[in-house]
Amino acid sequence: MQNTEAVWLVQAQQGDQQAFTNIVEAYQKPVYNLCYRMLNNAEDAEDAAQETFLRAYRSLKQYDHNRQFSTWLLSIAAHYCIDQIRKNRMTLISLEDQPDREIPDKLPGPESILSKNEVQNRMRLLLEKLNPTDRAAVIMYYWYDYSYEEIARSLSLSESAIKSRLHRARKEMARLWMSQQSKLIPAERKCHESPVF
Amino acid sequence: MNHQFFENLLLSDSELTQVELTMLQEHLQTCEACRQFSNALEDVDHLFHNTPIASPAVGFTQRWQESVIQDNKKRQKRQIWLILIVGVCSISALFALLGFTILPVLISPIAVLWAELFNLVTWFSAVEWIVGVLLTMFRAAHSVVPTSLWIALSFAFMGLCAVWVVAFKQVTAPRRLVI
């Protein structure tokens, strides 16, 4: 895969569009996932992923082969999403009010959809509370198993800054999770209570 | 009780020492707040690790190819506009310059004609003065330097010219490569 990718990259740098299309095919999922988790919206994520590939395609000649391509690509995606979040901050709409646009993998039953959506919503709320850079770091940490060094390189920050950001973000999310749990428990109790009592 | 210390241990990515681990376990048995925090952290980690990667809708690559075509068209349009704007600006600047040059002629053509005539006369008088100076210098040199020396100097100058022509031909002539 690495060799094939290297060949595609060289061909793409020489202007072969088909070679870059192969790269798009190979990296569409990780790029889209990052954009989706960052922006919490399928349409915006699609646009951001498209824009990421377009920017990568346009600046492919500047790509340094000593650097890992996935890190470079996700770095473009992360920076674009951070910019988008900052731009949209003025017209911020509560994501809790938005319908879930997650594409189901198969056709699960209604209960499964409900619980899945609930979990997704809780995760969204957790991510939403983080600032854009922390959010990108968390996504790279959990979904891509990136090392601190790789995250730091992707987000143009120092390794120590990433460590402290992740430490702070995980703490914040755990606290938020605790508060979510405390809100959920009384509601769950009410559901199970008999109307007779 | 120092909750911050134990929270830091829970959030730490590096492996804990046996002492730290024992201290943490003992603390978690007695501290409800830290136990809740630990459970929440585990839940969050579990949630993130078990959430699958989101996939784009089918046909992403095709849509990307279309967006490249659209982007190329946009870029071409932008380039055409840029060329047009630069062209229009250059022509306007040229016309403005031309206007500034022609405007005095249009306003008062006789005055401009007189001015140009004056310039011409000035030029002629300057040339005449330079020729006069050169002639005077030549005459002075002629009276000082004897005729035989003049002839020798002329031949030397011609010889130098010949050397220069030969050297120039040697330098510029294509060389035969020995392989």
How far does the CA of residue B35 sit from the closest CA of chain A (Å)? 11
Question: Cβ of A29 and B48 within 8 Å?
Answer: no
Is residue A42 within 8 A of residue A103, CB to CB? The reply is yes
A51 domain-assigned: yes
Q: Which two tokens stand for residue B20?
A: 């730290």
Domain assignments of chain B as residue spans, ordered by start: 3-50, 74-107
pLDDT at A27 over 50: yes
Cβ atoms of A157 and A133 closer than 8 Å: yes
In a domain, A91, yes or no: yes
Task: Centre a 10 Å sphere on the Cβ of residue B130 and count the other Cβ atoms it contains.
Answer: 10
Question: CA gyration radius for chain B?
Answer: 47
ipTM score here? 0.73
Beta strand residue intervals within chain B, DSSP E:
none
Cα separation, B33 vs A60, whole angstroms: 51
Which of the four pLDDT bands, split at 50, 70 and 90, describes residue B1? low
> How much is the pLDDT for B4?
85
Q: Which domain holds residue A10?
A: 2-192
Question: What is the per-residue DSSP string for A20-80?
Answer: HHHHHHHHHHHHHHHHHHHH--HHHHHHHHHHHHHHHHHTGGG--TTS-HHHHHHHHHHHH
In-domain check, residue A11: yes
Query: What mean pLDDT do residues A94-114 have?
Result: 47
- Please state the rounded mean pLDDT for residues A99-104: 45
What's the confidence (pLDDT) of residue B105? 78
pLDDT at A57: 93
pLDDT of A196 reads: 41
Distance CA A46, CA A35 (A): 8
Percent of residues in chain A assigned helix, strand, coil, to nearest 5: 80, 0, 20
Query: Percent of chain A at pLDDT above 90?
Result: 52
Tokens found for residue B5: 């210390």
**A197 falls within a domain:** no
The CB density around residue A113, as the number of other CB atoms within 10 Å, is 14
- How many domains does chain A contain in total? 1
C-alpha A12/C-alpha A162 separation (Å) is: 32
Whether A14 maps to a domain, the answer reads yes
- CB spacing of A177 vs B36 below 8 angstroms: no
Distance CA B59, CA B66 (A): 11
Q: Are the Cβ atoms of B60 and A170 closer than 8 angstroms? A: no
d(CA A136, CA B40): 21
CATH number of the domain residue A57 falls in: 1.10.1740.10
Question: Nearest Cβ partner of B61 from A25, A57, A122?
Answer: A25
Set of chain A residues whose Cβ sits within 8 Å of the Cβ of B56: 28-29, 32, 45-46, 49
pLDDT over 90, % of chain B: 49
pTM: predicted TM-score of the whole model, two decimal places = 0.67
In angstroms, the separation between the Cα of residue A186 and the nearest Cα of chain B is 17
Min Cα distance B78 → chain A (Å) is 16
pLDDT at A113: 52
pLDDT tens-place string over residues B13-36: 888 888 888 988 888 889 998 999
CB B68 within 8 A of CB A51: no
The confidence band for A102, taking pLDDT boundaries of 50, 70 and 90, is very low
Q: Quick one: pLDDT band at residue B52, thresholds 50, 70, 90?
A: confident
Which segments of A87-197 are extended strands (E)?
none
